[in-house]
């Protein structure tokens, strides 16, 4: 992650506006379809932010692990876990990077990487993908949500490398304004298939959401796969 992205990420976590409380429905469906609430299943949330998916996992009797670059985000997550009866899991929360995960090989039954991978440059994305595979158990399940090249933030004219731009949004009404100056990579389907070619049962769907009477559109790929 670039230094600008690091600082922006940290600053976002200091703002309560960027601490969503409720889990994504995409994550909820993935978890219910793939994991048992047995108190033993271990699932890692990469880029866990303020912990919304960590809380959801813990409340479903799934052992949650969370990793984020932001000290602020991890400390907030730990505090909220203690306040909400999930204090037994605070030691599972770590500050770190996607390119060097602090876990043993074949450790997790599942990995969630929701809206995070696209903040990395291409070479770091490759490293992160390798690290996710390393720490995932055989037959472990992966959920990945990333932005597509159809997302309104993508501007081919401003590429610094293929499908990678620096966000520069003038309108303060758009979410991208808070990401100004950040490097962001946008994916196409062929690229995703290449990155995850050594997985089984790979499925790629996408979701588009328009805003302000269809003036602009968020576009994300949803990838699920089995190691």
What is the pLDDT, as a whole number, of residue 202? 96
Its domain, for residue 105, covers 3-147+184-226
Is residue 20 domain-resident? yes
- For 72-102, the pLDDT digits (tens) are 889 999 999 999 999 999 999 999 999 999 9
Nearest of 177, 187, 222 to residue 15 by alpha carbon:
177
Pairing of strands 216-226, 136-147: antiparallel
Q: What is the DSSP code string of 154-201?
A: --GGGEEETTEEE-----TTSGGGGGTT-EEE-B-HHHHHHHTTTSEE
- For 41-55, the pLDDT digits (tens) are 999 999 998 899 999
Is residue 179 domain-resident? no
What is the pLDDT, as a whole number, of residue 172? 63
Give 71's pLDDT tier (boundaries 50, 70, 90): confident
Is residue 159 domain-resident? no
- For 152-181, the pLDDT digits (tens) are 888 887 889 999 998 876 666 666 566 767
Is residue 103 domain-resident? yes
Domains of the chain: total: 1
Is residue 116 domain-resident? yes
Structure tokens at 206: 């996408």
Is residue 36 domain-resident? yes
**Top-confidence residue, 16 or 103:** 103
Is residue 77 domain-resident? yes
What pTM, to 2 d.p., does this model score?
Answer: 0.90
Is residue 162 domain-resident? no
CATH for 52: 3.40.50.150
């Amino acid at each position: 992650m670039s230094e600008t992205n690091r600082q922006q990420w940290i600053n976002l976590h200091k703002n309560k506006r960027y601490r969503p409380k409720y889990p994504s429905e995409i994550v909820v469906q993935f978890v219910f379809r793939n994991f048992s609430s047995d108190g033993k299943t271990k699932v890692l949330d990469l880029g866990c932010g303020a912990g919304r998916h960590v809380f959801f996992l813990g409340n479903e009797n799934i052992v949650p692990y969370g990793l984020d670059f932001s000290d602020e985000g991890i400390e907030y997550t730990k505090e909220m876990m203690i306040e909400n009866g999930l204090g037994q899991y605070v030691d599972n929360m770590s500050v770190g990077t996607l390119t060097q995960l602090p876990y043993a090989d074949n450790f997790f039954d599942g990995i969630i990487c929701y809206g995070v991978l696209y903040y990395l440059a291409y070479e770091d994305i490759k490293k992160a993908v390798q690290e996710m595979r390393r720490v995932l158990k055989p037959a472990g399940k992966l959920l990945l949500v990333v932005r597509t090249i159809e997302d309104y933030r993508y501007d081919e004219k401003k590429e610094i490398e293929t499908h990678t731009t620096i966000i520069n949004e003038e309108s303060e009404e758009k979410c991208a304004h808070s990401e100004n100056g950040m490097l962001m990579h946008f994916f196409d389907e062929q690229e995703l298939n290449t990155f995850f070619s050594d997985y089984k049962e790979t499925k790629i769907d996408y979701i588009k959401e328009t805003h302000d009477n269809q003036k602009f559109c968020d576009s994300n790929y949803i990838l699920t796969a089995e190691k």
